[in-house]
């Protein structure tokens, strides 16, 4: 098969990485071979909670050598990179947000910040051992008049975000920058961390190995639940939505 395939309309796939695209390298390569045949108006973005340096390592070590997404969203939606360059229209929104003041304030309360690689201009991350301690920090931020939102996950991970940040907000901004309407966006994922993407996107693909936390809450009227796992499930969903045809072996 040669030439462009699938829908002629411009569309944007925004996909989670871990356990969505990763999990089976052969299937990931098959998905990429099909994506390479998409028409020029169709775009691919990765969207990860992880910092950029960690995502870049995964791309170098695990993905096909010629894999080239149009954009990468990292740091819980606080960073957007197009090629080698940060998207300045997104970055400038966080320049006046007091991330350094937040790190100093939380450290003074006795809680350790995560390593510098996990910090961004729109995100301050800490190790906080319990919800009572989290409430103490949030009350202090309210008292100081610092606008924020937060995510508390795992056993002790507290991420304090600028009000306009988030994986879903970054997807909206990227789609606008690319001139692609939100109804032409597709989110792909496997966990509850991807729920906001599913709710914001025009369509969504839950891979076959998606966790129950996502399956129970996802907007079922616009979500395709693939039978195949990982990258094969993403390809299955894109074919089902009429956006791609599978590349010949």
What average pLDDT is seen over the chain? Answer: 93
pLDDT of residue 1: 30
Determine whether 92 is exposed, middle or buried from the number of CB atoms within 10 Å of its CB (0-12, 13-18, 19+): exposed
Pairing of strands 203-206, 185-189: parallel
Q: pLDDT by residue (tens digit) across 103-126?
A: 999 999 999 999 999 999 999 999
Q: Do domains 12-91+166-240 and 98-161 have the same CATH topology?
A: no
Domain ranges of the chain: 12-91+166-240, 98-161
**Which residue, among 235, 197, 187, has the nearest Cα to 24 in the 3D structure?**
235
For position 221, what pLDDT does the model report? 97
Locate tokens 């879903």: which residue? 168
pLDDT of amino acid 245: 83
Tell me which H or E stretch contains 44. strand 43-47
Class of domain 12-91+166-240: alpha beta
**What does the pLDDT profile of the chain (249 residues) look like in tens digits?**
334 555 578 999 999 999 999 999 999 999 999 999 999 899 999 999 899 999 999 999 999 999 999 999 999 999 999 999 999 999 999 999 999 999 999 999 999 999 999 999 999 999 999 999 999 999 999 999 999 999 898 789 999 999 999 999 999 999 999 999 999 999 999 999 899 999 999 999 999 999 999 999 999 999 999 999 999 999 999 999 999 987 655
Look at residue 3 in the predicted model and tell me its pLDDT. Answer: 47
- What span, in angstroms and rounded, lies between the C-alpha atoms of 51 and 120? 8
Rounded distance, CA 30 to CA 247, Å?
7
Closest CA to 40 of 91, 77, 5: 5
pLDDT at 249: 56
**For 234, what's the count of Cα atoms within 13 Å in the CB-facing half-sphere?**
30
Which two tokens mark 165? 């940040």
What CATH number does domain 98-161 carry, 3.40.50.920, 3.90.1070.10, 3.30.930.10, 3.40.640.10?
A: 3.90.1070.10
Tell me what pLDDT residue 2 has: 37
pLDDT, tens only, 32-60: 999 999 998 999 999 998 999 999 999 99
Q: What is the DSSP letter of 27?
A: H
């Amino acid at each position: 098969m040669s030439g462009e395939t699938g829908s002629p309309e411009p569309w944007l796939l925004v996909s989670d990485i871990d356990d969505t695209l990763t999990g089976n390298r052969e299937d990931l390569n098959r998905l990429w071979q099909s994506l390479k045949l998409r028409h020029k108006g169709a775009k691919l973005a990765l969207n990860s909670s992880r910092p950029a340096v960690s995502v870049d390592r995964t791309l170098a070590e695990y993905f096909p050598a010629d894999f080239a997404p149009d954009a990468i969203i990292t740091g819980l939606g606080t960073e957007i990179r197009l090629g080698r360059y940060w998207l300045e229209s997104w970055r400038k929104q966080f320049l006046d947000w007091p991330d350094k003041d937040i790190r100093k304030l939380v450290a003074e309360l006795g809680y350790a910040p995560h390593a510098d690689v996990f910090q961004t201009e729109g995100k301050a991350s800490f190790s906080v051992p319990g919800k009572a301690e989290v409430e103490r920090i949030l009350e202090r931020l309210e008292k100081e008049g610092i606008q924020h939102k937060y995510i508390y996950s795992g056993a002790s991970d507290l991420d304090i975000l600028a009000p306009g940040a988030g994986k879903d907000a970054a997807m909206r901004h990227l789609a606008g920058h690319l001139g692609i309407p939100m109804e032409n966006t597709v989110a792909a994922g496997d966990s509850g961390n991807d729920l906001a993407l599913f709710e914001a996107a025009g369509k969504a693909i839950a891979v076959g190995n998606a966790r129950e936390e996502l399956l129970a809450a996802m907007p079922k009227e616009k979500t395709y639940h693939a039978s195949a796992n990982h990258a094969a499930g993403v390809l299955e969903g894109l074919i089902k939505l009429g956006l791609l045809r599978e590349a010949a072996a």
